[in-house]
Structure 1
Amino acid sequence: MPNKNKKDKEPPKTGKSVKSGKEGQDNPEHDASNKKANNAPPPAQVSKIKVPTPQTVVKKEKRQSSSRFNVSNNRELQKLPALKDVPPAEQEKLFVQKLRQCCVLFDFVSDPLSDLKWKEVKRAALSEMVEYITHNRNVITEPIYPEVVHMFAVNMFRTLPPSSNPTGAEFDPEEDEPTLEAAWPHLQLVYEFFLRFLESPDFQPNVAKKYIDQKFVLQLLELFDSEDPRERDFLKTTLHRIYGKFLGLRAYIRKQINNIFYRFIYETEHHNGIAELLEILGSIINGFALPLKEEHKIFLLKVLLPLHKVKSLSVYHPQLAYCVVQFLEKDSTLTEPVSLVIFLLVR
């Protein structure tokens, strides 16, 4: 879960099993509470802060960067009434107004002290809406769905900042500080709001599927390359919830994760979110029904196992090992081919 600063809120844990539903023989909806603690996928590797020795007094500063947002021209936001202070008949209209207000984007890098008043209006509106959909029922009406998805997309789908290692040097979580997203005060609340939206008892996947589609999922997956570990943990939880709610997107999600792995193995050898994607897959594999489909065995041999040959293996090895063990526990006949492939890859 997020490597949170003291002020950061912790999102729901991704280890929670996906809710009931079938797609062929896939059923990743085992109740996590019935699993032993040692059967949970290992968490993604986190950065460790090393205390300098007396001889090493130079302290690395945390790098602040920001994605390339299209900062809005009109950023003067009017503070709207609180949702709890208006009659129920007017709450839906006010809710939509606040969602649209939160589509205004601000500059957090070149001039971080600009528009402080309006930034606070947006932050307060996001925080209020998180509480509103958490503690009130029947407030996610049909007109709210496109507004929520649009607000999320406007705030989140952007060009990520350049890599902090442009020369191609591997990020070392033991030594390097990650580049943190400067706009995080707003991004965190948008993630929290969207998760509460997905997890609400009022949420209807049949309505939402018109807006949360393959294009949405593809853009979400692109964000997993963010250097900010806080964002990757929220993404991990968000994608896991979408996988559980939308049966029609499951095969597509697995296919696109495969594509990310293929590019990582055979082209770039650089991606910040491999550990988090493997952690999601660990939960998915855990729910595969028996006997295993042939496509899942091919995924193990052609996608998962080649991840062992990438030089940054240590960053995601615990999550990769968990996925492989899940396969072997489900089908012991895979032990010999798995051992052979790993031997050929690492010798």
Structure 2
Amino acid sequence: MSKVKWGVLGVAKIAVEKVIPAMQRGDVSQIAGIASRDFGRARKAADALGIARAYGSYEDLLADPDIEAVYNPLPNELHVPWTIKALEAGKHVLCEKPIALDAKEARMLIDARERSGRLVAEAFMVRYHPQWRRARELVAVGAIGVAGAIQTFFSYRLLDPENVRNRPPGGGGLYDIGCYAILTARHIFGAEPTRVVATLNRDPNFGTDRLVSAILEFPGGRHLTFSAATQLSAHQRVTIVGDAGRIEVEIPFNAPPDRPTKMLIDSGADLFGGGARVEEFSTCDQYTLQGDAFSRAVLGQAPLEFPIEDALLNMRVIDALFRSAERGSWETP
């Protein structure tokens, strides 16, 4: 079976610990090269991961004619510049979330895609996990009645001032994990929010948001309420509530690749779980599924399910939440 030859820009932790090993297990994805601005770091990572080629610069990787697609896990402020360079070099690009620092910047990727004729997409691996596809299916068929509200909480505790998540301009909780709450609500409701309101608490030393809470109003009076935090204890949970039941996604975002995941569906018969049942999903790696889905689009075996326009829509909501927190008002994406 033909495989797409991938190159990776940088030796980011998410790349070397999660994404690359997962994609190496894919059916149609092959990690053929990895680049760093320090050749020694690239060579070390390549050797540890069994990757054939190492490059001492991102430019060298992009100049390699054997590389067909690029995975971009660079710091958020470098997503758009290096994605555009990769597209201009004739590579297809899967870029980590958030796709950009604002919607204006994200829009540049649509133009770059049109000029290059290559595919580009935002790497939101959760959309490929069976638990999210099942949640969307259950809502669509009315398994919990009409879904009216989603509550999402996502947090971790990270106090390292040198970590990119704690450094402007691309750090902070809204960019890093609040984006998941927005994306999954759009995915479940199948709609775009009409207005949003948010409050942010910033770390006085880092300057990045360490706690963001928000309400997003969707057509039909439906709401997402969420909190995302970078300095609270680790926790994540999503609850989707309808007029005839609820769905609770136990580990919604960092679904483990080494054990099954579970989802609770409760009819709401009582408050003690009398109407509850559990669905279990077989062990899988959402990064493997994401990589192969993009590779199949590159090979022409399947359409690109989530084009870059979807990333632009998510970015517009993030922009509106930042505006709301600054102005203290409801904002329209």
TM-score (norm 1): 0.24
TM-score (norm 2): 0.24
Which one has a larger percent strand, Structure 1 or Structure 2? 2
Q: Which has the larger radius of gyration?
A: 1
Which one has a larger percent helix, Structure 1 or Structure 2? 1
